[in-house]
Amino acid sequence: MTRTGSLALALLLAVSAPARAQAPPAPGTAPIQADDERMLPVLASHGMVSSQEARASRVGVEILRQGGNAVDAAVAVGFALAVTLPRAGNLGGGGFMMVHLAARNETVAIDYRETAPAAATETMFLGPDGEPDRAASTRTGKAVGVPGTVRGLAEAHRLYGSGRLSLVDLIAPAERLAREGIPVEAGLADSLPRASGLLGQWPSSRAIFFSGDRTLQRGETLVQRDLADTLRAVAEGGPDAFYRGPVAARIAAAVQGAGGVMTEADLAAYRPETRLPVRGTYRGYDIVSMPPPSSGGVHLIEILNVLEGFDLAGMGAGSAAALHTLAEAMKPAYADRATWLGDPARTRVPVKGLIAKPYADALRAAIDPERARPAEAVKAGDPLPFEHTETTHFSVVDAEGNAVSNTYTLNFSYGIGLVAEGTGVLLNNEMDDFSAKTGARNAYGLVGGAANAVAPGARPLSSMTPTFVFRDGRLLLVTGSPGGSRIITTVLQVIVNVLDFRMNLAEAVAAPRIHHQWQPDVLLAEEGLSPDTLAILRSRGHKVKVGPSSGSANSVMRVDGLLAGASDPRQRGTLADGY
């Protein structure tokens, strides 16, 4: 259906369907408390960092203590995670950083998403049979997008850092962790054996992550000397030390050696983009999030707009009624994503239309409070995989109220598993986020359209959703998550848990989550929802599938004059820490 067609249908339904949604309740009246007798967030008065890896969180807190602002701390955390959380923290990937500057009351979005190399073509991921070749877009050099992280972090520091700390100061802790080594424990010990096949196929990766014929085991030490040297080069020479010269030459050679088309010229040409965030409102709160080429902010706001017309608080957290409503609100957003979203430099994304309240009214009117709507007919394929966390999100707030919400990634855990020889840099497989072919699904089961076709220099469509929530112009919440297609609904549920269900931040992050992405037509549920709730959802027509958890929504919230931090208990080794 065309865009005009789907909007017209939605508006028609809005007029003809009985108004089932209830009027929005007054913005929550129960106070949000910093402390209570339930699962508790960490509290601090000056600054807070919540990330997926404890050492990196502590690096960020130390930078804040030294007088760095939230951006300085975030840049240091970003470099540290490349060392301590190598499956997702990275120099060889890309991401998005939302920055809030309290004194200027300004929020900006830094897009340091990877780009397609100049020699990329629309059909590069089609096999001889004309069908998508998943191996090519996930496991070979062709999968690698031009990395954005180093220029992105350096640009954040240059534009929005405090000016009190240099890149050398911010990279030094990461370099030390890489050179001295870190014990293999927690999330690292969990993820390495799972990535053994991917890493083990490349001698340069084996040399770092293996001991003999197996990945490093719990209790052994991960030393990354080449990575330490690359970090030192960037600290001293700035991002050009990564994008030009020997490091760039080695990255291009590694990618080409693995069958890819990236050149040194592609690396030299890479630029991050500073963008205006996408903005919406929800029950009197302002939602400020990542615009295209992420679909995250647009669809977060689209879904919240639909939910605003329902009394979720009255239904109750975890109730079948609330979960049904959430699932039905998610479906049309993912249908829109498949059609409309792509790189705004190459396709006109109808952001305004998608986040308009009247559009949400129409979508809401089409929701049956008693019955699940079947997803539109697309051949049911392989069931949606439950992905382990591979991207990573961290949130930082400083004493002045500046804040950073950053999500970055190699796409899969450890990307394609290939370390560019001599650099310590693991390479991403972000090219799989393009649509290999209209209607084809990517690794997350997401359907893609022409708007997200591969093209030279294009940025692949993302779901990453680094987000701020404000109340009366004052920052309330910083959140985001990994999880592939489930990122948007993870962020959504953290927000709804806080704003509608009045959970404290620790509970909001920990509460079991659901996910529906329209196609495949499956309602994914984490463990922890009651069997009778699931039975009610099934009786309403939902194809419920209970599976492992997803996401790592490491978040910070301002409450009662304090900072509350919560790291996601779904991963080992996460930490919210402050001072």
Catalogue the active-site residues.
391
Among 308, 433, 500, 577, binds ligand DON (CB under 6 A): 433
- Is 211 among the annotated ligand-binding positions? no
Select from 141-149, 476-484, 518-526, 564-572 the region that touches ligand DON (CB under 6 A): 476-484
- Is 67 among the annotated ligand-binding positions? no
Contact in structure between 555 and 50 (CB atoms under 8 Å): yes
User: In whole angstroms, how close is the CB of 508 to ligand DON at the nearest point?
Assistant: 20
* Residue 43: CB atoms within 10 Å: 16
Q: Which C-beta is closer to ligand DON: that of 224 or that of 490?
A: 490
Select from 24-32, 378-386, 478-486, 531-539 the region that touches ligand DON (CB under 6 A): 478-486
* Nearest of 211, 221, 212, 243 to residue 230 by alpha carbon: 243
* Residue 203: CB atoms within 10 Å: 11
CA separation for the pair 58, 579 (Å, rounded): 10
Which residue is listed with tokens 């690359």? Answer: 230
- Tell me the backbone φ, ψ of residue 397, rounded to 5 degrees: -130, 140
Select from 45-53, 119-127, 223-231, 386-394 the region that touches ligand DON (CB under 6 A): 386-394
| Residue 89 touches ligand DON, criterion: CB under 6 A | no
CA separation for the pair 366, 372 (Å, rounded): 11
CA separation for the pair 249, 244 (Å, rounded): 7
Please report the DSSP string for 127-181 in residue order: -TTSSB-HHHHHHSGGGPPBP-HHHHHHHHHHHHS-SSS-HHHHHHHHHHHHHH-
User: In whole angstroms, how close is the CB of 429 to ligand DON at the nearest point?
Assistant: 9
Among 47, 332, 449, 482, binds ligand DON (CB under 6 A): 482
Please report the DSSP string for 221-282 in residue order: EE--HHHHHHHHHHHHH-THHHHSSHHHHHHHHHHHHTT----HHHHHH---EEEPPEEEEE
Which residue is listed with tokens 């000016």? Answer: 163
Residues numbered 304 to 323 that lie near ligand DON (CB under 6 A) are none
| Residue 115 touches ligand DON, criterion: CB under 6 A | no
| Residue 409 touches ligand DON, criterion: CB under 6 A | yes
Which residue is listed with tokens 């402390």? Answer: 35
What are the residues whose beta carbons fall under 8 Å from the beta carbon of 129, sequence distance 6 or more? Answer: none
| Residue 415 touches ligand DON, criterion: CB under 6 A | no
- Is 410 among the annotated ligand-binding positions? yes
- Is 194 among the annotated ligand-binding positions? no
Q: Which C-beta is closer to ligand DON: that of 325 or that of 405?
A: 405
User: In whole angstroms, how close is the CB of 407 to ligand DON at the nearest point?
Assistant: 8
Report which secondary-structure segment, H or E, holds 194: helix 186-194
Total residues contacting ligand DON (rule CB under 6 A)? 15
Q: Which C-beta is closer to ligand DON: that of 334 or that of 470?
A: 334
| Residue 463 touches ligand DON, criterion: CB under 6 A | yes
| Residue 149 touches ligand DON, criterion: CB under 6 A | no
| Residue 411 touches ligand DON, criterion: CB under 6 A | yes
Interface contacts to ligand DON, rule CB under 6 A: 387, 389-391, 409, 411, 430, 433, 462-464, 482-484, 487
